[in-house]
Amino acid sequence: MKSLLSLLTMVIALTALPSLTQAEDDPSRWNGSMKEFQEEDSEKPFPKGGIVFAGSSSIRMWKSLNEDFPKHTVLRRGFGGSQMSDLLHHIDTVVLKHEPRQVVIYEGDNDIGKGKTAERVFADYIRVIDRIHAKLPDCHVTFIAIKPSLKRWALAPEMTKANGLIEKFSETDERLSYADVWKPGLNDRGTPREDVFLKDGLHLNEKGYQMWTRVIGKLLTPEKK
């Protein structure tokens, strides 16, 4: 526990330094998306105790989510271009109102793409977890590793650092897990696989989501009877 507290103290201190402070994008830019989510919720309420997939475009574009996890009740709540700080700001609408048993998160990709540090991504993730567990103490939270992509391969060192911090932290609490999609996203040369991406080199194609399904499916908690 002491080592964990030391790690968190270090991260919080680092993110407070001027050199690591980044200007935030206005989270209100997602108000339109939140309104759409609320309208969908009104038309078709999501049952409590399901699994919410939340995050950026990699979640928003996962159109086969329900078919990929037929044994689970899942909800896709992705808003493309979002960052971990955006998820934190809109956590009530995106996650908490649904009272899920599990939340699967993909964020951090755009954060680092915008110049945020691994430490900042990690610190924001801790805040997201705290918000979730404050209301849903038994909720399991799974972080999907920031993926290796063709378009953002130059940012791989910072991405792997963020993944490493979150993976290590996930080992400290049985309510947390880490979905390692980084390793299977690499070819035998240790660079991003070209066959799992759309032409933009950033977003996954059908084969890419099949790969994610195999990794994440092993971490989904069973339906409560």
Residue 211 pLDDT greater than 50, yes or no: yes
pLDDT tens digits along 123-149: 999 999 999 999 999 999 999 999 999
Give CA separation, 214 vs 28, 70, 93, 174, 220, in Å.
35, 13, 28, 21, 11
Residue 11 pLDDT greater than 90, yes or no: no
Query: Looking at 5-9, 63-67, 82-86, 177-181, which range is the least confident one?
Result: 5-9
Give CA separation, 179 vs 58, 91, 150, 171, in Å.
14, 21, 20, 12
For the chain, the structural domain boundaries read: 2-17+45-217
pLDDT tens digits along 150-203: 999 999 999 999 999 999 999 999 999 999 999 999 999 999 999 999 999 999
Helices (H), 70-221: 84-89, 91-94, 109-113, 118-135, 156-170, 206-217
**2-17+45-217 CATH choice from 3.40.50.1110, 1.25.40.10, 3.30.720.110, 3.30.70.3420:** 3.40.50.1110
pLDDT tens digits along 12-59: 544 444 334 455 678 888 898 999 999 999 999 999 999 999 999 999
